[in-house]
């Protein structure tokens, strides 16, 4: 204990330090010296260390907040926020590209639909030309069954390929649109070509009955096809031959007599023009009657009468010749 008092007294005399008074301010060297003497760190050193830790933590916090915070767009001169120019341009460019794509696809579809209608109208025009050729007495014999059948196949193919497309266009565009007109023309052309095909087949078939020929001609007339006089001539000749084969010679004469046109509407009255004077009409009627009777007589000569009694043996030819003068 006495040693401790001696040390303290020695220090007070040499350092002039008041035991109960602390320096107002000490530097780092003093703090270090005090620490060596007293075995503790100075308060100022501890305080400085805490302030540095606090400053470091605050700086880290600010950096973290700044990293997570979304940058606020600058304000314009009126105080409002300016739009993100780059984002707006990119959005507008994207919308423009989509619109251009959709517009291009729509135009391509419209172009394809127009092309389909053009093809259909072209085929319908060919059918109309064939109809005009059939109605003209100068070109009637040039209408071929092969050409008619080929054109009919094209019409049927157009209806199968584009019929649904035209129906959809009519639903979208309403009645009266071009698609409706084209579709109707295809259907009308198909019906007309079917009638022409049936008529040509009957004309080329020598076994076709007059009733069959007449029925098929009537179908075309109901479709507003004005058949030329050649069709009536062929129909009249076949009717005469049918009556002659049944040995109905009196009926043949009535068939060729203008006065019996009500009884035989498809007789000679159907082949004579209606816009001629009576004298000119009589000349034409006489020529037609002579040609028909000559044809009937030739057919009688060509028939095989062996073993069946034959018409020649029964005086049938004499009956024809006796009746014909009043017609000729």
Q: What is the DSSP letter of 223?
A: T
Position 244 scores a pLDDT of 84
Strands (E), 251-315: none
**In the beta sheet, which residues pair with residue 75?**
81
Cα distance between residue 162 and residue 117, in whole Å: 8
Position 320 scores a pLDDT of 45
The contacts of residue 268 (CB under 8 Å, 6+ apart) are 236, 255, 256, 257, 258, 261, 285, 288, 289
Helix ranges, 39-144 (H):
43-68, 85-135
pTM over cut 0.85? no
**Phi, psi angle pair for 75, to nearest 5°:** -90, 150
Q: Is-contact 183 166, C-beta < 8 A?
A: yes
Position 32 scores a pLDDT of 59
Q: What is the DSSP letter of 268?
A: G
Q: What is the DSSP letter of 16?
A: -
Ranges in the chain, pLDDT < 50: 16-17, 19, 21, 23, 41-47, 80-81, 100-101, 104-105, 306-307, 309-328
| Per-residue pLDDT tens over the stretch 26-51 | 555 556 555 555 555 444 444 455 55
Structure tokens at 251: 């009926």
Position 43 scores a pLDDT of 47
Which of 245, 237, 246, 214 lies closest to 293, judged by CA?
A: 237
Q: Could you state, in order of their start, the residue ranges of all structural domains in the chain?
A: 107-227, 229-328
Residue reference for tokens 């001539």: 233
For residue 157, how many other CB atoms are within 10 A of its CB? 11
Residue reference for tokens 């350092």: 15
Which of 124, 117, 106 lies closest to 179, judged by CA?
A: 117
**Phi, psi angle pair for 265, to nearest 5°:** -65, -25
């Amino acid at each position: 204990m006495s040693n401790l008092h001696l040390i303290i007294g020695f220090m007070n005399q040499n350092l002039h330090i008041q035991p109960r008074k602390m320096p107002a301010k000490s530097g780092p060297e003093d703090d270090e010296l005090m620490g060596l003497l007293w075995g503790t760190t100075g308060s100022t050193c501890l305080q400085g260390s805490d302030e540095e830790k606090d400053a470091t933590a605050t700086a880290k916090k600010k950096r973290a907040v700044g990293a997570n915070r979304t940058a606020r767009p600058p304000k314009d001169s009126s105080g409002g926020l300016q739009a993100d120019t780059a984002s707006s341009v990119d959005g507008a460019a994207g919308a423009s590209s989509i619109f251009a794509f959709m517009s291009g696809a729509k135009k391509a579809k419209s172009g394809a639909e127009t092309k389909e209608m053009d093809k259909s109208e072209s085929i319908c025009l060919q059918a109309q030309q064939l109809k005009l050729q059939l109605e003209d007495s100068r070109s009637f014999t040039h209408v071929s069954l092969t050409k008619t059948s080929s054109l009919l196949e094209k019409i049927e193919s157009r209806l199968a390929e584009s019929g649904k497309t035209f129906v959809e266009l009519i639903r979208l565009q309403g009645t009266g649109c071009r698609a409706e007109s084209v579709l109707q023309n295809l259907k009308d052309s198909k019906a007309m070509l079917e009638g022409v095909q049936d008529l040509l087949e009957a004309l080329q078939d020598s076994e076709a009955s007059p009733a069959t020929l007449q029925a098929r001609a009537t179908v075309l007339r109901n479709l507003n096809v004005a058949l030329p006089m050649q069709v009536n001539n062929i129909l009249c000749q076949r009717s005469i031959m049918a009556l002659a084969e049944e040995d109905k010679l009196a009926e043949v004469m009535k068939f060729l007599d203008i006065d019996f046109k009500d009884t035989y509407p498809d007789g000679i009255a159907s082949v004579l023009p209606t816009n001629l004077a009576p004298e000119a009409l009589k000349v034409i009627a006489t020529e037609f009657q002579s040609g028909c009777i000559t044809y009937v007589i030739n057919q009688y000569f060509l028939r095989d009468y062996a073993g069946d009694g034959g018409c020649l043996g029964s005086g049938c030819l004499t009956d024809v010749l006796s009746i014909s003068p009043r017609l000729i």
